[in-house]
Amino acid sequence: MDRYTRQYWMDMVTGYFDDVVREDLAGVLARFTDDAVITIINGDNPLEVFHKRPGPGERPFDEFYGHLQANYVARFDDMECIVDVEAGTAAAIFKPLLTPKPASAYAADGPQSLRNCNFFWFAEGRIGRMTIYYARPGTATEGASRRPTPFPRA
């Protein structure tokens, strides 16, 4: 890992978020190793696991990013990144704002303000693994009609 600088990894992480905002799926995918895995954790919901190159029964990255791009305009505010060059890891703490696109099935829900912490493990100069922890503050007091936002099943 020591041939990569802190700035290199910082640019990798912030560039990843820039690619998501631009809806540049090719750019997003290029940041991950071929065997990369993304795990999404949201409260007590089941883990959501996506693979860049899925095997039988595994969910592909395209399912996650396709859902995001088809339904939301994403913005990431108050980003704070921490990089550990020696360990080959990073964390990003931020506030996503997901605004439903007009044709989205979620348009009536309005914008979702989340709180996230993404953890990154690097390999081969790219992201080898990413874990996304997120919450939507206020959902516990909004009643049953406004559940937390797990990734929907097809």
Q: What is the chain's pLDDT, residue by residue, as a tens digit (154 residues)?
A: 468 999 999 999 999 999 999 999 999 999 999 999 999 998 878 899 999 999 999 999 999 999 999 999 999 999 999 999 999 999 999 999 999 999 998 888 889 899 999 999 999 999 999 999 998 776 555 554 444 455 554 4
pLDDT for 41: 92
Model confidence pTM above 0.85: yes
**Does the residue 129 lie in any domain?**
yes
Counted domains in the chain: 1
With b for 16 or more beta-carbon neighbours within 10 A and e for fewer, the 102-136 pattern comes to eebebeeeeebebebebebbbeeeebbbbbbbbbb
According to DSSP, the residues that pair with 34 across neighbouring strands are: none
pLDDT for 95: 96
DSSP state of 109: G
pLDDT for 44: 77
**Does the residue 1 lie in any domain?**
no
**Does the residue 130 lie in any domain?**
yes
**Does the residue 115 lie in any domain?**
yes
**Does the residue 151 lie in any domain?**
no
**Does the residue 125 lie in any domain?**
yes
DSSP state of 52: S
pLDDT for 148: 45
**Does the residue 20 lie in any domain?**
yes
* Residue found by looking up tokens 């009536």 in the block: 108
- Distance, CA of 69 to CA of 103 (rounded, Å): 12
pLDDT for 45: 82
pLDDT for 154: 41
- Distance, CA of 92 to CA of 74 (rounded, Å): 16
pLDDT for 133: 95
**Does the residue 148 lie in any domain?**
no
Contacts of 119 (CB under 8 A, 6+ apart): 89, 90, 91, 130, 131, 133
| Residue 111 structural domain | 6-141
Q: What is the CATH classification number for the domain harbouring 58?
A: 3.10.450.50
**Token output for 132:** 């996304």
